[in-house]
Amino acid sequence: MATNEERKQKTSQKILDVATRCFMHHGVKATSIAEIAKMAGVSQVTLYKHYKNKETLARAAVIKLIDDGYRQDLKILADTTLTFKEKMGRLMQQSIAISKEIHPDFYQYIVREFSGQHGTNDAMRAYEAQRGQFWGALLQQGRDTGEIDSTISNSAVLTYLEMFVQFFVAQSQKNDPVAEKKLREIGPELDQLFFYGLIGH
């Protein structure tokens, strides 16, 4: 029999799962707390007991996407039935698929959340907390199979990645909708340049 704490955690997770889907498909602005509560099968009063407002819920959704993304990426890296090149292809395809699925409004919210424009650095901290483990594992596999040049250090790759992230953050701070739209459109191409650049293709 589930304890009160377990039931609370289950309810909180259900609310977050529903909210994340809503934000992904409709954006943050067009999604109401009432809609999320109804789809999650809880009252608005119950929802507010778990998340004090929509921004808190949206921030939790961003962190959930980061955590889920790393979990899926590590699962691909652990798949012994795939070659390293196939893993790189899967990682790239997954990244592109997710970026295409995100509603433009939520995409802007995510980038601004990364830049701290909403008042916290929680999203960036969540991203950085797992970055080293994932990229360290990927680079080591690449070196072990001879697909990645052993002279390319982890520090160099992480620095390049940081430049990539900071560029997007800097662009978001300009609050230029046209520039943000353009960056989102070329995102898949940038993914290809990064992933295939690592293995020299």
With 0.75 as the threshold, say if the pTM is over it. yes
Please tell me the distance from the alpha carbon of residue 75 to that of residue 30, in angstroms, as a whole number.
Answer: 33
pLDDT at 95: 86
pLDDT at 196: 67
Q: What's the pLDDT tens digit per position in 22-34?
A: 999 999 999 999 9
pLDDT at 1: 60
Q: Greatest CA separation found in the chain? A: 57
Q: For the chain, which residues score pLDDT lower than 70?
A: 1-2, 172, 178-179, 196-197, 199-201
- Please give the C-alpha separations between residue 121 and each of 37, 103, 128, 195, in angstroms, as whole numbers: 27, 22, 11, 26
Task: Please list, in sequence order, all residues whose beta carbon lies within 8 angstroms of the beta carbon of residue 102, skipping any fewer than 6 positions away.
Answer: 24, 110
Q: What is the dihedral of CA 119, 121, 124, 126, to 10 degrees?
A: -120
Residue 180's Cβ-side half-sphere holds a number of Cα atoms within 13 Å equal to 18
pLDDT at 8: 93
